[in-house]
Amino acid sequence: MSLFSFFTIENKGELDLKELSSIDDFLSRLKNKPFLRENWANLFFIIIIAIPFSIFFVQGLLYGFDELEHSGVSGLFVSALFYNLFIILMVIFILTNIKLRLTPTLLYLGLIFMTVFFILYLPGMYGGDVNQVVYTGAQCLWEGKNPYDPNKLYIKHGSPTGAGVFHEGTYPYLPVDLLSYGLILGIFDFISSLLVSSDVPIWLPGFNDIGLTLANLIFTAITCLCAYYLFPEDRFQGPILAFLMMIPFVWSSAPLMILYAIIGFYFHQSSMKYKDYFVILFFTLSALSKYFAGVFLVAIWITYLYEKEWKKVIAAPGIPFFSLLVVSLPFNIMWVLESTVLFYNSARRHIEDGSLGGTIVAEFAKIFNLIEIIGILTLIGLILIFILGIFIRKNTELRLVVMSLLSLLVINSFALPFLAIAIFGVILFDYVIITSSQREKYTINKKHSIESIPELDPV
């Protein structure tokens, strides 16, 4: 080896060490930047949410906002990837006790963003089958028809071929959903019929888009009111947050499920004597609106089991089971189960409307051609989540959030608004569910870390 080569290599090594030292210094200074230290959570949320929503908007511009949730739309996999990634990261942060502190500004910007989203997605909201399912089912109820009857198909379902293409089917949601919307839409229709002599027109609320939207806005208003009392630190941010998370659902039946769940959370945070039974009741109503919410009941059941509260151990599964029997028997309980739980966990759903896919379990089933046993795979996923919940012994609230977030990975179809549910759960955990002692500890640690940072001399 020549002397020139030796010095070249040695100098290169010194250069590398200097570069590494410079990088370490840069990262150290970056870490101590007050802006990044205070706003890393906000930047993280913006990045991880902006990517799938940007893809969503591009897809809407290319294919039309009424075609976004159909399986043939390009780019759905990328949005689903970030959906699953976001949920996994949130679970990791929560389990490792990392608190995400979001600024009020982010919520207000989100309010503007969600309003724009609502306006752009408006054609898709009223172009699919979901809205027609809800108000057609409600109208059948008032006319004395059984929307779960497989021999008389009253309900219009979407098709994998595109929005606006329908086929006849049965009511795909559980009876509490049907009864709740049937009651409020029936009242709207009755009041509107008093104002006109003929049939209720589309511009008055009844069994139509206007009626469904008005009903969901009422549910949203009540949810915002509950959020007002759930968020003691800032009574304005709570309703803003609730509105942000619910506005994408105004064309579906999700606001009803969210409403019952938030009321359940409200009682869970209260100091009422019989609060646990109110929690079980409203979580039951939420689960009987959309069965995904049943995970809340499982989470609190584990707590009662650990605390040896045997009456509540029996009540937590007993009340939902009895309630399901009571509300389903008039419609034929087997027809109800076949149209709802069994339909959403079967290959039939993939064939009929093409909506299966996007979550980890659904994509696994599609990649390995296991769609025929999608129900079994879903059950296995839920059992694994249940086992994890058992290991979270003392913190009921932590178990509630973690199990509900993980369940969003197990459901059989991806829809971008479910990302909003995940965000809602995380921020709810951050603002409401952590204890006052944790808040005090966070404040002390934060103050101590700021005081311990040495002041840098100006360059």
What 3-state class would DSSP assign to 148?
A: coil
- Report whether pLDDT(148) > 90: yes
What 3-state class would DSSP assign to 440?
A: helix
Q: Please list, in sequence order, all residues whose beta carbon lies within 8 angstroms of the beta carbon of residue 157, skipping any fewer than 6 positions away.
A: 129, 133, 166, 167, 168, 169, 172, 352, 353
215-246 tens-digit pLDDT:
988 998 898 888 888 766 666 666 777 777 67
Polymer length in residues for the chain: 459
Mean pLDDT of the 260-289 span: 87
Matching residue, tokens 């969901």: 216
Would you state the structure tokens that stand for residue 434, as one six-digit string?
A: 């952590």
Which one, of 175, 344, 178, 180, lies nearest residue 260 by Cα?
180
d(CA 105, CA 118): 20
Query: What CA–CA distances, in Å, run from 145 to 151, 173, 314, 439?
Result: 12, 16, 35, 53
- Report whether pLDDT(4) > 70: no
Report pLDDT for 265.
83
The pTM for the full model equals 0.77
279 exposure class (CB count in 10 Å sphere: 0-12, 13-18, 19+): buried
Query: What stretches of 152-306 adopt beta strand conformation (E)?
Result: 155-159, 162-169
Contact indicator for 164, 123 with CB cutoff of 8 Å: no
Q: Please list, in sequence order, all residues whose beta carbon lies within 8 angstroms of the beta carbon of residue 3, skipping any fewer than 6 positions away.
A: none
Contact indicator for 214, 251 with CB cutoff of 8 Å: no
Matching residue, tokens 């390995």: 368
Of 12-16, 36-40, 130-134, 337-341, the range with the highest mean pLDDT is 337-341
d(CA 251, CA 204): 16
Sequence spans of domains, the chain: 38-435
More confident residue, 25 or 195: 195
Confidence of residue 402 (pLDDT cuts 50, 70, 90): confident
Would you state the structure tokens that stand for residue 261, as one six-digit string?
A: 């769940």
Report pLDDT for 370.
83
d(CA 162, CA 68): 9
DSSP class of residue 429?
A: I
What 3-state class would DSSP assign to 197?
A: coil
